Structure 1
Amino acid sequence: MISVFILLAIIGYLFFENNRVSMQNAMKFEMMYQARMLSSSIVMKAMDDGAKNEMDLASQHDFLKHLKHCRFQVGYYDKDKQPIYSEVDEFKVTDQSFFIEDGSAYTVMEDKSDHLGVHYIVLKENALSKNVQSLRIKIIGYLVLSFILMGIVGYFLGRLFLRPVREQIESLDNFISDTTHELNTPISAILMTIQSLKDIEPKKLQRLEASAKRLSVMYSSLTYRLEGKVEPSEVLCFSDVVKERVEYVKELIDSKRLHISLDLEPTEVLMPKTSSYRLIDNLLSNAIKYSDVGDSIGITLKDHVLKVKDTGVGIDKKVQEDIFKRYYRENDERGGFGIGLNIVLAICKQYKIKLDLESKKGEGSTFILTFPVVKK
């Protein structure tokens, strides 16, 4: 639509300029023709009187005043450029034959024969600027109407052409929704069963529980976009939320022998609890996924600023903006769906949390979240 509007604007401008020049040329020819006709009338009067300079000043002024002329304002000047009779106020004769000044068009014709003492005939026209302005308004009006019409047509054509795509997306969303809801039941059953198991090697049990919880986090991420529920916000102690979620994924952290450190100040945040869980779960999941065995994860919360820092593989500078796009994966070897950080970004936008990233390839990453202060 922008390209169409620019194209229409260019066409409209060229059309306006062409018509403006045509109007000026037509006005110039008409005024010069009328000036010649007046000059001819003066010559005929001078010839009828037998001598061009025999009329007294009063008769000369009276003749010029009542000389039948065109629709333009007329001024007659002698060879010293002094007015003999003029309807053109405060005009100084120039050598230009046609020019536009202050929205009015002027024609100056020189008659060197000086019949009746008239050396210059000046014509003034006041309607040219109004006509040009009227033309400009009409073209702008047509442009706006054309753009609106094309916008309406484009909107309905777009809906028509994109309908199959939209239907396919809806079908895919419904499929993912049905599939993920079917996954929820066995995941819950696995987690409950793990808690009741006894006489199993702790390492095997830990591995089983870590895998089940990873499935649970992935399920939560998949359903976030599909649920579309509006949850009421509440005042949360975010340090408690962080501790709870770190404890929840402890098996995942232990499975990679990661060192985790917490430095948390009690901080109040206004947002739904489920959204806070998803926010921390995805940040932790991302830090765990892109950390190597034995790396470190540090989480600090001070002055309403949360920092999640890892010493993992890091992110190249040129793709740091892309990693927040849905389905984008910077490292295919580490797995994932490419939606975790997109969910983090969506939650931050929804609850006015400022999101920053500091990262260097091979040296780890730090995600920085600045929360708005809760008003009491």
Structure 2
Amino acid sequence: MKFTPEHEAFRESVRKFVDKECAPYVDDWEREGIFPAHEIFKKAGALGILGVEYDPEYGGMGGDHLFAMIASEELGRMGCGGVPMAFGVQMMMATPSLHRYGSHELKQKYLAPAIAGEMVTSIAVTEPDAGSDVAALKTRAVRDGDDWVINGSKTFITSGTQSDWLCLLARTSDEGGYRGMSQIIVERDTPGLDVAKKLDKYGMRSSDTALLTFDDVRVPVSNTIGEVGRGFQQQMQQFVVERMFASYGKLNSMQGALDRTRDYLKDRVVNGKPLIANQYIAFKLSELSAQLELVRTHAYVMAEKFMNGEDTTRDATISKLQGARLAREIGDWCMQFHGGMGYMEDFWVARYVRDTRLGSIGGGSDETMLQVLSRIDGFTP
């Protein structure tokens, strides 16, 4: 992987942003269960972080995919998982379909302010009875003249209590399964759209998450992203980008956890020797570090393939599966090696363990990733 001086300058810019505007406030945001997305995103937008790959016509940087990967990596240094996750929704989960398939008018109205950080976005796919099984979703949008009339509910919606618009996946015909869905932009203040509940999560606590209900919500048909009835296919492409972002974001987070644990073990003296002198501990940390290097190398290869226009569905699936599992394993060993201190709520390890647990659930569970891989590789008929 070859980074240009422009890439490195951008990395330094994002790192300074994280260190100045985010990291010092993470503890407060974790306690409050929310961070000021409009304030933080506007600052990020001014640096070009939110639209690194997007068309300059709408405020994007027009950069290559490595800029997005760098942003994801550096946001992972923040010291929590919730805020970087919200950034991921804004940059690579709620907006890719709009950028790729949306009309010029929709991009002007919704994409440009999202890139500038003036609007906060959410992706609304998961439902109470339809998580990884997207084909089972029931939220419907029925056409009435020039409007869609939407009824249903969506849950686990990141930034759901403060977002300005949603990229909603809903059924727009009576065709079952994967057919007859469309992606529709819905403004959060539209009558009939309500935050039924702010959800209390085990981890990712600095990111607000909501249960949303739709009761005869009227939205112009012109708010449809791309072609009516092609929403599932567009969302699957968006999922690939989402899983790539998640994979990049874990890299520096995992590295930071190993580095902080190593430093702690150097200082912690037991029976007259620093704990790091224990060969078992040193070997285990080395093993985890080696596994991280393999995951990092795979992610970088995936980024290059994506820039070359290759299909990265399989790569993103592998990267998300293995990265999430490794993050969980690193968290478990870091807590073990910190002993009682690692179990304390006010210590960084406990938060790391909580936040990394979502990696094997959100954006497609481990089981879903294995199902996708088994189909691609021909192990499932």
TM-score after normalising by structure 1: 0.22
TM norm structure 2: 0.22
